[in-house]
């Protein structure tokens, strides 16, 4: 399999590359301001906001499959337009596309979200990810859209935030619930999906819904850190507009894929 990973310098993209190289695939990975650190990957610099450059690269690489991960918080051109450019080029090349989306497309509510629920974004990042989904679905109707949640594991920004809060350098929200997933499980699920013809949105997240503060406590217990100094707050007190409770129901993915999507309580068991 010849695979193009757009955003191979990112946390998830690098893990997708690592597993694909390990499986013997021929992997080309892109970076923009960072670097691709995975041995065995042919690297290319790419700015996804440049539609012509995306088309040119995909035409040159001639991948059988493409994984699209790029986003930049607060940057519509990267997150929404960039995803559209990747989908356009993948469809043009006849390559199978897995586009990585987010639980941020939802407004938040106590009940879990099913796979096919339409986006209901309430903040700019969620709106950009929702726009990306719509563009991808129009330009490449056969593409799979992986809606995922907090990505944890070694090197995760989410876990670093917990350590910062435990050290009193940041605060964790007690009222923001998500379904964290390990980066290795997510990458394996993405690679599996590439070999299917699944089209449309698919929730790929862990089965445990926890608040960011609960995640901090799990991280503390796992690392043997006293959580007494952990700083917490609420989204309302911090004045942020973000979805509060977003639970992704990943039952469909669990049935479709061989990859087991582990919950964060299992992942962070001592």
Ligand X SMILES: NC(=O)c1ccc[n+]([C@@H]2O[C@H](COP(=O)([O-])OP(=O)(O)OC[C@H]3O[C@@H](n4cnc5c(N)ncnc54)[C@H](OP(=O)(O)O)[C@@H]3O)[C@@H](O)[C@H]2O)c1
203 binds ligand X (CB under 6 A): no
Site for ligand X in 156-195 (CB under 6 A): 158
CB of 129 to ligand X, least distance (A): 6
Site string for ligand X, 1-20 (x = CB under 6 A): ------x-xxxxx-------
102 binds ligand X (CB under 6 A): yes
46 binds ligand X (CB under 6 A): yes
Give the C-alpha distances (Å, rounded to integers) separating 146 from 53, 220, 248: 25, 29, 11
- The DSSP result for 125-165, as a single string, is HHHHHHHHHHHHHHH-TT-EEEEE--EESTT-HHHHHHHHH
Would strands 151-152 and 181-182 be described as parallel, antiparallel, or unpaired? parallel
Q: Give 84 or 229: the residue with its C-beta nearer to ligand X.
A: 84
Give the C-alpha distances (Å, rounded to integers) separating 148 from 92, 137, 240: 26, 17, 21
Q: Give 32 or 51: the residue with its C-beta nearer to ligand X.
A: 32
108 binds ligand X (CB under 6 A): no
Backbone angles phi, psi at 228, to 5 degrees: -55, -35
31 binds ligand X (CB under 6 A): yes
71 binds ligand X (CB under 6 A): yes
Site for ligand X in 121-160 (CB under 6 A): 129, 148-151, 158
SS3 247: coil
d(CA 268, CA 14): 22
32 binds ligand X (CB under 6 A): yes
113 binds ligand X (CB under 6 A): no
């Amino acid at each position: 399999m010849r695979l193009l990973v757009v955003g191979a310098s990112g946390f998830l993209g690098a893990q997708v590359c690592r597993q694909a190289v390990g499986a013997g695939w021929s992997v080309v990975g892109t970076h923009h301001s960072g670097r691709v650190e995975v041995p065995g990957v042919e690297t290319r610099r790419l700015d996804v906001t440049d539609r012509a450059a995306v088309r040119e690269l995909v035409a040159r690489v001639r991948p059988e499959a493409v994984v699209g991960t790029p986003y930049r918080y607060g940057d519509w051109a990267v997150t929404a337009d960039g995803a559209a450019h990747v989908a356009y080029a993948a469809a043009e090349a006849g390559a199978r596309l897995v586009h990585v989306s987010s639980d941020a497309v939802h407004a938040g509510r106590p009940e879990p979200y099913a796979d096919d629920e339409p986006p209901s974004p309430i903040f700019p990042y969620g709106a950009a990810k929702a726009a990306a989904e719509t563009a991808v679905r129009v330009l490449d109707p056969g593409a799979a859209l992986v809606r995922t949640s907090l990505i944890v594991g070694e090197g995760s920004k989410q876990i670093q935030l917990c350590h910062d809060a435990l050290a009193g350098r940041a605060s964790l929200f007690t009222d923001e619930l998500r379904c964290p997933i390990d980066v290795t499980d997510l990458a394996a699920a993405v690679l599996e999906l590439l070999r299917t013809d699944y089209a449309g949105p698919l929730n790929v997240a862990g089965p445990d819904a926890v608040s960011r503060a609960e995640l901090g406590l799990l991280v503390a217990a796992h690392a043997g850190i006293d959580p007494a100094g952990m700083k917490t707050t609420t989204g309302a007190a911090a004045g942020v507009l973000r979805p509060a409770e977003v639970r992704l129901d990943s039952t469909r993915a669990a049935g479709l894929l061989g990859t087991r999507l582990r919950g964060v309580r299992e992942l962070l068991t001592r």
